[in-house]
Structure 1
Amino acid sequence: MRVFCTVARVCLHWSKLWADSYLTTTTQKNNLQPLRQELLLPSSLLPLMFGFSVQRGRMPPSQPNPGQYALTNGDPLNGHCYLSGYISLLLRAEPYPTSRYGSQCMQPNNIMGIENICELAARLLFSAVEWARNIPFFPDLQITDQVALLRLTWSELFVLNAAQCSMPLHVAPLLAAAGLHASPMSADRVVAFMDHIRIFQEQVEKLKALHVDSAEYSCLKAIVLFTSDACGLSDAAHIESLQEKSQCALEEYVRSQYPNQPSRFGKLLLRLPSLRTVSSSVIEQLFFVRLNNALGL
């Protein structure tokens, strides 16, 4: 829960003014207080993460309505045209041009500074949450299910975003960003921490080596997000079906776009289980300690 609260803090830092525009009266905000207390989330983060709108109680009117895509047998979801449309909606949900992040934050010597590393990390994390709340089907889930899914998968989504934007992972700036100079570790802890950094670097580099395109990244993130492994889900079977649909969308896309790479789909799926080897607490230590300190948290 402590690490997940960092996700909430980062998103709140980037979006509190925007989010407050959805809940304009004291009564409306008070109506969400029991939920906020149950989930241990800041009140102004709820509109950001779960798409509340004062007028509709769901997503803002400008967003497409995921509910129009039924999951019954024989519906358009099982056809190639729908799958292409589904991927288009996944891509459209991206709040930022992720591939440009790294180049915007690079210094002339091609090494990213500490402040830029932390800023980029915060953007990537915010982007993951904002993307999730705008993709098909996710906003229609119970809010408690949305929280459970994000709590379990945010670090995996972060790694995928880091790979997609080719995030520079030079060791020295990462160690500085982690604040090790301010709170020295024992030699054994430093070695263990360095090993976690190496694991993170390896996962990013292996994804980059596959030359994953934007559509594939969006499908991979949907497969990661819609997992029935999260605790306390109200309808695990439904969420598992969403994961299966996302896998089918990826398979169809790869088959049509990369006909000369018959093993590509399998290679992409095989990258997903190892994403969980990247410790969420290490991601927090690497990228968000400075932000938490700046916010007095």
Structure 2
Amino acid sequence: MDPQDSKEPPCNCPDRTKDGSILYNLLASSPDSPDTVQHTTERCPMVHMVNNVWRRSCPTNNSATNATASSSTSPPYPPSLVILRHAEDTYQQAAQLLLKTVDFVRNLPAMQRLCTHDRVTLLQHCWAELLVLTMTQYRFEFETEELTLLSSSSHDDQNPCSCSHGNAESMLVKCLVALQGIPTKSDVHMINSFFTKCDLLQLEDKEYAYLKATILFNPDIPGLINPGLVESLQSEAQLSLNEYVAAMHPADPLRFARVLLSLPPLRNIRSRVVSQLFFRELIGDVSMEDLLKQMLLLH
């Protein structure tokens, strides 16, 4: 696998789009649109559901039972939800990096050895990991702010939640956040920690290319038609990375292991969170899997 062949070409993706396509709609969003995104729960529909559940967990009645229960047990707390600052600019930058990521995958010579089904399946499964790695490579930066859940009344601080009811509702809130991929401070911390780790390694472009190929060619993905070939391609990518590191960093025999060990934390970054955080306002209810398939097969 030649790293020169896997290098991303100049990104001219908007020129390839067609009016009415999912990809065109992804790039057509303008930061200057009159429908500018507001930093409120109005731009986060799932947060309304979370808020409703959280309200019910904090009843307004100041009963003796609630006061007694709260005196011995601390009330439950919801996850710390976040939204983007400077959202419009961040959406556009993320969209361009997604295009670069798909271009990288499409132009890998090894991808041509796979059938269309396996090419699409591989990308749909690992797109978020590849994108975060591309974001790291291009030093992508973003800022978030905490989204405060609405309380049931202005006096909720004086009327703590009942323990049994509040704990159950808090667990429901956490389940909703996890299932829907609503971004939290913890999710953002994981992404930024990965950025920092790779920055400390000072990864080079060719190392990024081999790492992306290692992630992409995952033979354990369900539904592959030819997992044996995928495994062979992954081995080729790792071997090429090892040879490159040995040639470029002969005085650092442990670098290959450190570079490979940078990948496991990527598995903790959920694709739903990446989609919700960076693309929900651009693609709406469009399935990310459908979008990726169209982008990959676009000629």
Category of TM-score, reference length = shorter chain: 0.5 to 0.7
2:220 aligns to what SS in structure 1? Answer: coil
| The one of 281, 284, 288 aligned to 2:275 | 284
* Alignment partner, residue 142 of structure 2: 169
Bigger helix fraction = 1
Corresponding residue of 1:88? 4
Q: Does 1:118 align with 2:91?
A: yes
Consecutive unaligned residues in structure 2, runs of 5 or more: 13-83, 152-168, 289-299
1:97-246 mapped onto 2 (5 Å cutoff): 113-172=86-145, 193-246=184-237
Contact 1:112 1:168 survives alignment (8 Å) = no
The alpha-carbon deviation at position 248 of structure 1 amounts to 0.8
Give the secondary-structure state (helix, strand or coil) at the position aligned to 1:151: helix
In 1, the alpha carbon distance for the partners of 2:150 and 2:9 equals 38
SS of the residue 2:235 aligns to? helix
Q: Quick one: which amino acid aligns to residue 248 of structure 1? A: L
Greater relative contact order (Cα 8 A, min sep 6): structure 1 or 2?
A: 2
Distance 2:236 2:113 in 1: 16
Q: 1:262 aligns with which of 253, 257, 260?
A: 253
Any idea what SS the aligned residue of 1:234 has? coil
Give secondary structure in 2 for the equivalent of 1:229: coil
- Percent identical among aligned pairs is 32
C-alpha RMSD of the superposition: 3.0
Deviation at 1:154, TM superposition (A): 0.3
Q: How high is the TM-score relative to the length of structure 1?
A: 0.58
The Cα offsets for residues 187-239 of structure 1, whole Å up to 9 and x where unpaired, read as: 86589711111111111211111100101001100111111011111111111
Deviation at 1:294, TM superposition (A): 10
8 A contact 1:87–1:219 mirrored in 2: yes
Question: Aligned equivalents of 1:112 and 1:170: distance in 2?
Answer: 5
Structure number with bigger Rg? 2
Matched residue count: 192
1:54-69 map, 5 Å: none
**Aligned mates of 1:88, 1:218 — CA distance in 2:** 9
The residue type paired with residue 245 of structure 1 is E
Tell me which stretches of 4 or more aligned residues in structure 1 moved more than 3 Å. 93-97, 183-192
How big is the shift at 1:129? 1.2
| 1:271 and 2:271 correspond | no
Tell me the TM-score normalized by structure 2.
0.58
How far apart in 2 are the matches of 1:156 and 1:294? Answer: 21
Letter in 2 for 1:239: V
Gaps of 5+ in 1: 1-82, 98-110
